[in-house]
Amino acid sequence: MARRQYPFHLIEPKWQQRWEKEGTFRAWNPGETIPADHPFGVRHGLSGKAPSGSQLPPKFYLLDMFPYPSGAGLHVGHPEGYTATDILSRYRRAQGYNVLHPMGWDAFGLPAEQYAVKTGQHPRLTTEANIANFTRQIKSLGFSYDWSREVATTDPEYFRWTQWIFLQLYNAWFNPETRRAEPISTLVIPDDCDTPARQRAYRDDRRLAYVSEAPVNWCPELGTVLANEEVVDGRSEVGGFPVVRKSMRQWMLRITAYAERLLGDLEGIDWSESLKEMQRNWIGRSEGAVVDFAVCGAGKRITVFTTRPDTLFGATYLVLSPEHPLVASITPPERGAAVAEYQAHAAGKSDLERTELSKEKTGVFTGAMAINPVNGESIPIWIADYVLASYGTGAIMAVPAHDTRDHEFAEKFGLPVVQVVEPPQGREWRGYTEDGLAVNSSSSRVSLNGCSTAEAKIRIVSWLESQGLGRRTINYKLRDWLFSRQRYWGEPFPIVWRRDADGSLYSEAVSDRELPLVPPPLDDYKPTPDGRPPLARASDWVTLPDGALRETNTMPQWAGSCWYYLRYLDAHHGGRFVSEGAESYWMRPRSDAGGLPPGSPGVDLYVGGTEHAVLHLLYARFWHKVLFDLGHVSTPEPFFKLVNQGLILGTDGQKMSKSRGNVVNPDEVLAEYGADAFRLYEMFMGPLQDVKPWNTQGVAGVYKFLGRVWRLFIDEASETEFEQACAGDPANSAGYASGLRLASNVQDVPADVFQSKPLHLCIRKVTEDLEALRFNTAISALMIFVNEAIAWEVKPVEVLRNFLQLLAPFAPHLAEELWEKLHQNHPSGRVSLSYSPWPTFDPALLVEDTLEIPVQVNGKVRDVIRVAATATHIEMEGAALASEKARPFLAGKQVRKIIVVPRKLVNIVAA
RNA sequence: GCCGAUGUGGCGAAAUGGCAGACGCAGGGGACUUAAAAUCCCCUGACCGCAAGGUCAUGCGGGUUCGAGUCCCGCCAUCGGCACCA
């Protein structure tokens, strides 16, 4: 280990303990009494008071994606985002905001459960141990979290409200008229639902949380179903186990009702365009039409969805998905065996096989024919697994001339291909899928010939509508959210099942008063042998005295993370998930921000990894909108600004992983360089959003910078004495530290212009860069200042004070320590650095009298001249033409033009 | 295949259309030291040249402009997402 640049091993624990003891980073809710000596109260004149929301300074809410506390502990990727938000939190506090900066644990999850299955140890114990380790690691980095607001999704006092929100969904429906969720009591039940059972069924069919018997992704290895989003290439996202289709009764959340709002509201929030695009693609809105085809002789109709109704004349066959409900009834007996065989074949394929075998199309003819409504022609009806049951109507009209998939299928099975779109000159019509002019699209009923694609779409849809054969419609790729899991370590559903007089099963919400509903203790955490979830093992718990049975599924891990940012606002409220006062103060922007910009609606800045670009962020937005509709929160969107930090790669430029052996453990970096150097390096590596490789020598570089900062302040002789004393008696190091003195050239004298100018340049650069999240260049500005200041004969206290304020967000421990030393001789007493006002720069100091101006000849720099900042156009031109160095390049040429950019450059164009 | 991002020294990177490479790492030289470490100072894109200086250079090829890393068009590569969604 190299020689220590400065005693960070003493400084860092000292300040972490002091911050914790003094509650320095407690954020105050409206109505809370602020203790007399708290620095926030001192700064804002609120000591000992209990200010209302409007008496408090404006809020700023900086949120990190809370981690899953895994057994492996923190890796260097976690603190990247945490450091960024911490720097901004400290900066905003200095500016005068009331900053909310909390941390917690996304603590339900499979690893603890799998460990329980193996060892019998309750997942809670595993989870608690992991949380303790994560807490230790995160605290060692000196983040200014308000730990009094810590939450864990596994805490019954937390998940009682997760269960409560589920009941809000269960007890609500989506009113298509108002386009918002409303209490289920507002649902008008039609008269023909004339029995209680029918009325119940009508309501249950419209709840935002409902039960559905549907094909799901079953993972035998994990013993649970998975959401579509959790299945990657036919395997489970967690563990990579095969997933098969299986029809099961499952809880679903009606997120599709919100598709349009989830899409439209992306407009108003400050997320990166690429992230918004990922959400848009996931929602997958597409405009088109549904068209009815009559089945020959059967009196039945098949409805297809198409985005190209203009190509209806080219529809030469229909394809149903193998699972389509009409398949059995339209298939004539002689084709029954072949069709059934194909259906079985398709059903037997796992998702993995479906994906892998997708290169070659398969299908069979059902033997049935349909009528193309535009020209009365009979066309065959096929089934094929390239048509998905779960999208659109599960049936398509095939237009092989103008759809790649249909074309492939028609080629293979020798089906007719009819051109109906004329491409631009020189393009082949076969397989042409873009817009063109309609051709061969005319019958006694309707004609589209000569129309552009856009026009033809409009015309055919209005014809279909007039004939009652179809209508314009919009489809989404987004599916309803499969919300139940067959696991132990998750939130139990607050639902019981009863039978009515007819013996049919129905669900009923558990009363709010019974929450939290805590999972029962088990001896064995495996699913039951017959495949029921682990909770089914607890028969005493499952069966209620009145014979009702508890739901034994649990909620997915996403549930807890859908609303944790709301619980932070009021983490210990016993009567509500968040009090109205706290919600309103922290989520609403302020009009009367007292000179500060007002902040933004919802979370002001949310930082986390791209891996949550669709799942967590879409689910959380959905829940938030439901809570908004039901009047529980005051903003339609939860996260106003969102930034994805880039991945940190190993030193080999590869993704860090245990198997590659390139994982960097923060504990080791901290032991050698300290938390401040670690934080600084995480930010100095490059732009926050970029992917970048770790380089241990880079840490050494910023560490050296902190050493220079230390030597800028501290007397060398006292440093040498301190080191010698420590070497002789390491146990008393902390005691010797009081002997460290400020350097004698740190003096309370006015700064000269050569000192105040670099300082103010630094203030401007750091301030602007922090606003724009450019941490790397802000740090470089600090380095430039220190490189200059270290050479000064005399160092004015006022300049150093300002510098420490700029440094504090990045390297808070060192800054606090030096700040304390700087103030120990000042009778005004110690002022808390954490709440000292952010310095402002004086533009007057930054005005230059003369400027260096490059002189170009034909765009190449030939000289640099010095001109007065106020130089006129003519003066600059003259000075440039007078340049000795530029002259040779003008020899024998005629000056055609002179470009003068004031304060920037002169370019002489000559030929 | 589709969508998105990125491409600049040996490395991490910086640059409102106006001196490309700030800041840092690594490397080289020097000071201090008995010596080393630490620290401090200087050099460090490539090529040509003794030097002064010059030429080339921001993935590749074009274009716009007095001037392009930056804007436009067409490619290539890497990374991320989606992928039979009709």
Rounded distance, CA A802 to CA A825, Å? 17
Average pLDDT of the residues in A6-31 = 96
Residues 769-828/A with CB < 7 A to strand B: 774, 776-777, 779-780, 783-784, 787, 790-791
Residue corresponding to tokens 């720097």: A87
Rounded distance, CA A661 to CA A611, Å? 22
**A110 vs A463, more confident:** A463
DSSP state of A177: T
Distance A886 CA to B69 C1' (A): 26
When pLDDT is cut at 50, 70 and 90, the band that residue A425 belongs to is confident
Rounded distance, CA A433 to CA A230, Å? 32
pLDDT of A801 reads 94
**A245 vs A45, more confident:** A45
Beta carbons within 8 Å of A664's beta carbon, 6+ residues apart = A75, A76, A650, A651, A656, A694, A696
Backbone angles phi, psi at A910, to 5 degrees: -135, 155
Average pLDDT of the residues in A380-406 = 94
Q: What are the angstrom distances between the C-alpha of A707 and each of A390, A631, A669, A677, A702?
A: 62, 54, 16, 10, 9
Q: What is the pLDDT of residues A385-396, one digit of tens each?
A: 999 988 999 999
Q: Domain limits of chain A?
A: 8-162+559-673, 285-476, 696-842, 848-910
Distance A895 CA to B49 C1' (A): 31
Q: Angle of helix A812-823 relative to helix A797-807, nearest 10 degrees?
A: 160
Distance A886 CA to B49 C1' (A): 21
**A323: nearest Cα among A369, A392, A383:** A383
Pairing of strands A151-152, A104-105: parallel
When pLDDT is cut at 50, 70 and 90, the band that residue A894 belongs to is confident
Contact call for residues A782 and A766 (beta carbons, < 8 A): yes
> Check: CATH 3.10.20.590 for A848-910?
yes
Give the nucleotide nearest to A698 (CA→C1'). Answer: B25
3-state secondary structure of A140: coil
CB atoms within 10 A of CB A786: 19
Residues 290-329/A with CB < 7 A to strand B: 305-308, 321
How buried is A324 (Cβ within 10 angstroms: 0-12 exposed, 13-18 middle, 19+ buried)? buried
pLDDT of A351 reads 60
**A490: nearest Cα among A539, A557, A538, A535:** A557
CB atoms within 10 A of CB A453: 17
Strand B bases, protein C-beta under 7 A: 3-5, 11-16, 18-20, 22-26, 37-41, 54-55, 66-68, 79-82, 84-86
Distance A908 CA to B53 C1' (A): 21
Distance A888 CA to B48 C1' (A): 21
Distance A904 CA to B67 C1' (A): 12
Whether the per-residue pLDDT at A352 is higher than 70: the answer is no
Q: What is the pLDDT of residues A840-870, one digit of tens each?
A: 999 888 888 888 888 888 888 888 888 888 8
Q: Which amino acid is at A640?
A: F
Contact call for residues A116 and A488 (beta carbons, < 8 A): yes
Give the nucleotide nearest to A862 (CA→C1'). Answer: B19
Is the shortest CB-to-strand distance from A186 to strand B under 7 Å? no
ipTM of this complex prediction, to 2 decimal places: 0.95
Q: Angle at Cα A52 formed by Cα A49 and Cα A54, nearest 5°?
A: 125
Residue corresponding to tokens 């930054």: A846
Report the protein residue whose CA lies nearest the C1' of nucleotide B84: A386
Report the protein residue whose CA lies nearest the C1' of nucleotide B79: A691
Distance A806 CA to B59 C1' (A): 38
CB atoms within 10 A of CB A334: 8
End-to-end, the C-alpha distance of chain A in Å comes to 63
Q: What are the angstrom distances between the C-alpha of A295 and each of A110, A301, A327, A370, A505?
A: 49, 6, 11, 4, 37
Give the nucleotide nearest to A613 (CA→C1'). Answer: B81
Distance A785 CA to B78 C1' (A): 37
When pLDDT is cut at 50, 70 and 90, the band that residue A350 belongs to is low
Rounded distance, CA A227 to CA A481, Å? 7
Residue corresponding to tokens 């209990």: A50
CB atoms within 10 A of CB A186: 10
**A429 vs A848, more confident:** A429
Q: What share of chain A in percent tops pLDDT 70?
A: 97
Distance A62 CA to B23 C1' (A): 28
Distance A144 CA to B61 C1' (A): 52
Report the protein residue whose CA lies nearest the C1' of nucleotide B13: A686
Q: Tokens at residue A413, please?
A: 């099975």
Residues 381-400/A with CB < 7 A to strand B: 385-388, 391-392, 394, 396
DSSP bridge partners of A901:
A905
Pairing of strands A317-320, A378-383: parallel
When pLDDT is cut at 50, 70 and 90, the band that residue A353 belongs to is low
pLDDT of A258 reads 96
Distance A97 CA to B70 C1' (A): 36
What is the edge-to-edge ordering of all strands in the sheet holding A244-253?
A: A224-226, A209-219, A244-253, A481-482
Report the protein residue whose CA lies nearest the C1' of nucleotide B23: A780
pLDDT of A211 reads 95
DSSP bridge partners of A447:
A442
Report the protein residue whose CA lies nearest the C1' of nucleotide B1: A404
Whether the per-residue pLDDT at A831 is higher than 80: the answer is no
Q: What are the angstrom distances between the C-alpha of A875 and each of A865, A870, A883?
A: 12, 10, 13
CB atoms within 10 A of CB A223: 18
Residues 437-496/A with CB < 7 A to strand B: 475, 477
Contact call for residues A520 and A535 (beta carbons, < 8 A): yes
pLDDT of A584 reads 96
Residues 592-651/A with CB < 7 A to strand B: 610-611, 613-614
**A898: nearest Cα among A888, A908, A889, A883:** A908
Distance A792 CA to B32 C1' (A): 21
Rounded distance, CA A868 to CA A902, Å? 11
When pLDDT is cut at 50, 70 and 90, the band that residue A2 belongs to is low
Q: Tokens at residue A7, please?
A: 């005693």
pLDDT of A891 reads 78
Q: What is the pLDDT of residues A268-322, one digit of tens each?
A: 999 998 899 999 999 999 999 999 999 998 789 999 999 999 999 999 999 999 9
Q: Which fold would CATH assign to domain A285-476?
A: Isoleucyl-tRNA Synthetase; domain 2 (3.90.740)
Rounded distance, CA A488 to CA A341, Å? 38
3-state secondary structure of A417: coil
Average pLDDT of the residues in A31-39 = 95
Sign of CA dihedral A146, A151, A152, A156: positive
Rounded distance, CA A254 to CA A212, Å? 11
Q: Tokens at residue A127, please?
A: 């989870």
> Check: CATH 3.30.160.250 for A8-162+559-673?
no
Distance A424 CA to B62 C1' (A): 26
**A632: nearest Cα among A206, A178, A161:** A161
Distance A768 CA to B76 C1' (A): 37
Q: Tokens at residue A456, please?
A: 């033809």
Q: Largest Cα–Cα distance in chain A?
A: 108
What is the per-residue DSSP string for A367-378? EEEEE-TTT--E
Whether the per-residue pLDDT at A239 is higher than 90: the answer is no
**A833: nearest Cα among A17, A25, A62:** A25
Q: Which of A489-503, A621-635, A848-862 has the lowest mean pLDDT?
A: A848-862
**Residue A117: which region, alpha, beta or left (left: phi > 0; alpha: psi -120 to 50)?**
alpha
Peptide linkage before A123 cis (omega within 30 of 0): no
**A380: nearest Cα among A297, A318, A293:** A318
Is the shortest CB-to-strand distance from A708 to strand B under 7 Å? yes
Average pLDDT, chain A: 91
Give the nucleotide nearest to A229 (CA→C1'). Answer: B82
Consecutive H or E run containing A775: helix A775-789
pLDDT of A41 reads 94
Q: Which amino acid is at A326?
A: L
Q: What are the angstrom distances between the C-alpha of A905 and each of A341, A877, A881, A887?
A: 79, 10, 13, 16
Is the shortest CB-to-strand distance from A274 to strand B under 7 Å? yes
Give the nucleotide nearest to A389 (CA→C1'). Answer: B85
Buried b (16+ CB within 10 A) or exposed e, A846-879: eeeeebebebbbeeeebbebebeeebeeeebbeb
Contact call for residues A185 and A170 (beta carbons, < 8 A): no
Q: Tokens at residue A742, please?
A: 């400020």
Contact call for residues A335 and A382 (beta carbons, < 8 A): no
3.40.50.720, 3.90.320.10, 1.10.730.10, 3.40.50.300: CATH of A696-842:
1.10.730.10
Contact call for residues A88 and A62 (beta carbons, < 8 A): yes
Residues 852-881/A with CB < 7 A to strand B: 852, 854, 856, 858-862, 864
Residue corresponding to tokens 């001192």: A42
Distance A754 CA to B39 C1' (A): 25
Whether the per-residue pLDDT at A498 is higher than 70: the answer is yes
When pLDDT is cut at 50, 70 and 90, the band that residue A354 belongs to is low
